[in-house]
Amino acid sequence: MEKPRLSFWQIWNMSFGFLGIQFGWGLQMSNMSAIYEFLGAGANEIPLLWLAAPLTGLIVQPIIGHFSDNTWGKFGRRRPYFFTGALIASVCLILMPNSSSVWMAAGLLWILDSSINISMEPFRAFVGDMLPNDQRTKGFAMQSFFIGIGAVLASSMPFFLTNIFHVTGSEDGSVIPTAVKISFYIGSFVFFLAVLYTVLRTREYPPENLEEFKKEKKAGKSFSAIGTEIFSSIAGMPKVMKQLAVVQIFTWLGLFFMWIYFPVAITKTVFAGLTEGTAEYKEATQWGGLCFSFYSLITFAFAFVIPVLANKFTAKITHVICLLTGGIALISVWFITNKYFLFLSMAGVGVAWASILSMPYAILSVHIPKEKMGIYMGIFNFFIVIPEIFASLFFGWVMLHLLDNNKILAVMLGGCSMVIAGLLMLSVGEGENPESRIS
């Protein structure tokens, strides 16, 4: 059955929840390394402390994908998962900046990331559920738009609270700045309310053969059967999905190095000579958050350009260009000594990020069975989280023994990884031309 085309505002409503999801991610990406440092963690310990995000994604997303594929009730298929994840994540965002130790913060991060994944994974499948093939690029681009807005607000909030509203210092007995705490509190409400808006303003289509679906649901599946289904789906991945997987691995290695090291790296380059823990050092890390906010600003502006480029040059070539732009931009950070020039580098990252959030999913969505949209989107997440797990477990050793804890070298290495991803993207879909079916 061909799905009806949706209006701009219908696509807006079904994507709005990503504003809240990215608010949660944005606060985490731009502040967690600094929070860990405030609580006493060393540079070589930080990658391991970030293990929560990729590992929970590896475990949670395919399972949630399977269950959401096989859910239908009065609240729909994907929306119950949106809501549940948002509720738990909002509580964690309130608790996180009140952590009293590194391991308390790390434990909360595990719960926070699990709940964000519960909300986020069904949103990817949601586009495949609701939109016909020729509108999916627009659907994923709309998600990129809201991801950009959420990240802009989240990443810049501590900086603006400090410099515009003059929220300074820390509460008694806390090493975490008050501006960071308030940002997390605001993020908690934004996350919940944005997801709630999508839940209330969007109606889902029931399964095409509802009676057969109900019979299968009533029969139920054991956990071993669920595991078997996940592994059989992995073994049966379409060719294009396997090709995209390699691209994703190098892409997300580059992003991971940037996220965990950029805000603290620039304190040793552009803001050279600052002592960790001082007020000036805390302000410098906030500049890193502002830079993240800027690349997110570029992302949500460029999200409107992505469908036009994909229609003109194909999705594959568009993604190649964007990845190369982002990789070169990250490498350029090595040469920058003026803090304002960092915005030029972040503009390139923003172009890449807009494409990363849309093009791979748009290409993939036309190559996977619609009845397994959720589980395959969850499996596709493996190729985001596996490189992050690898980096979390082993990159601390690389930092300590090979890079002499030089954080800016880690950022530069991330840029090189993204360039490799762009070159690998050239081989995706050869002989099949999948992107020709995407507009």
Asked if 302 and 133 count as a contact pair (C-beta separation under 8 A), the reply is no
pLDDT tens digits along 131-184: 887 888 788 888 888 887 887 888 788 888 988 888 877 776 677 888 889 999
Cα(112)–Cα(85) distance, integer angstroms: 9
pLDDT tens digits along 89-148: 999 999 998 888 888 998 898 899 889 888 887 887 888 788 887 888 788 888 888 887
Write the CB contacts of 213 (distance below 8 Å, at least 6 apart in sequence): 72, 206, 207
409-288-357-73 Cα dihedral, nearest 10 degrees: 130
The mean of the pLDDT values for the chain is 83
pLDDT tens digits along 4-54: 888 899 999 999 998 999 899 888 877 888 888 888 887 677 777 877 767
CATH architecture group of domain 11-437:
Up-down Bundle (1.20)
Could you tell me which residues are beta bridge partners of residue 262? none
Look at 71 and 179; give whichever has higher pLDDT. Answer: 179
Cα(369)–Cα(222) distance, integer angstroms: 22
pTM of the model: 0.72
% of the chain residues with pLDDT over 70: 90
pLDDT at 279 over 80: no
pLDDT at 436 over 50: no
Domain ranges for the chain, please list them: 11-437
Cα(198)–Cα(120) distance, integer angstroms: 12
Look at 438 and 200; give whichever has higher pLDDT. Answer: 200
Write the CB contacts of 234 (distance below 8 Å, at least 6 apart in sequence): 379, 382
Average confidence (pLDDT) over 407-411:
88
Predicted confidence band at 274 (pLDDT cuts at 50, 70, 90)? low
pLDDT tens digits along 378-402: 888 889 888 878 877 788 788 888 8
Tally the C-alpha atoms within 13 A of residue 158's C-alpha that lie toward its C-beta: 33
Write the CB contacts of 92 (distance below 8 Å, at least 6 apart in sequence): 108, 111, 112, 115
Asked if 154 and 22 count as a contact pair (C-beta separation under 8 A), the reply is yes
